[in-house]
Amino acid sequence: MLENCLSLLPTPLFLSSVGGLLASQNPSIRRRALEVVAAKLGGDESGLSAAALKDLLPLLVNLARTEDQPTNQMVSTVRTNIFVLFFF
């Protein structure tokens, strides 16, 4: 449901919303936000411009650096690495 709602947002609002979710105090929300980002990037057409992708990278890097839940940190680090390899 969250993914469907976020997919309706224009890119700047999507990035702002995902950024807020990635910064949440709740580890489950952060994890779900990572899943939404992965789904958005993994689609046939992500709909994100190069500029939007560059705006998304710092959010992922920050989460990978500051995450206190080992599983979320590992997932964020892996997704950040994949993101960098495929999009830059």
For 5-31, the pLDDT digits (tens) are 877 888 788 888 888 988 888 988 888
The CA distances from residue 41 to 62, 69, 70, 71, in Å, are 18, 23, 23, 20
Number of domains in the chain: 1
pTM: 0.70
Domain that holds residue 48: 2-87
Residue 50 host element (H or E): helix 50-66
The pLDDT score that the predictor gives to residue 79 is 72
Residue type for position 63: L
